[in-house]
Amino acid sequence: MRRYQAVLILDPDLEDKALEDFQAGFHKLLKKGKAVNVKELQADVRDMAHSIKKHPRTRFWRVAFDAEPDLIAKLKEEIRHDERLLRQMYLSVAPGQEEESSQEEKNG
């Protein structure tokens, strides 16, 4: 198993219920794919340097988890047509690096 971070950029205009539904669905996909140590690292709305699909602000959601490498392709395929999702990116993270990146963002 490897440690990953999912960086998901969502529509900033999502209502709370729609956001909760998306997050619950993503967690369900992780569970179905046997991901472990799932941890939400960040969830906020940010101004973007460049608009994404005409949205100057986006909802930024970052989740860390341990999984087999083949799960990443399955996750991408399952959620790529979801209208709430603007962009998705998956990073392979070295053990212990996740906490460092969170601290760097907090310190600015």
Residue-wise pLDDT for 15-60, tens only, equals 999 999 999 999 999 999 999 999 999 888 888 888 888 888 999 9
Evaluate whether residue 45 is within a structural domain: yes
pTM, entire model: 0.81
pLDDT score, position 99:
56
Q: In the structure encoding, which two tokens stand for residue 83, read together?
A: 């209208």
Domain count, the chain: 1
Residue 60 in any domain: the answer is yes
**DSSP-assigned letter for residue 75:** H
Identify the domain containing residue 42 by its residue range.
Answer: 2-97
107 belongs to a structural domain: no
Burial class (CB in 10 A: 0-12, 13-18, 19+), 19: middle
Predicted confidence (pLDDT) at residue 104 exceeds the cutoff of 80: no
Is 103 part of a structural domain of the chain? Answer: no
- Does some domain include residue 105? no
102 domain-assigned? no
Q: Tell me, what's the pLDDT at 64?
A: 95
Spatial contact of 68 and 1, defined as CB atoms under 8 Å apart: yes
Domain annotation covers residue 108: no
The pLDDT of residue 37? 94
Query: Which is more confident, 104 or 68?
Result: 68
Does 58 map to a domain? yes
What pLDDT score does 18 carry? 93
Q: How confident is the model at residue 103 (pLDDT cuts 50, 70, 90)?
A: very low
Reduced to 3 states, what is the DSSP secondary structure of residue 106? Answer: helix
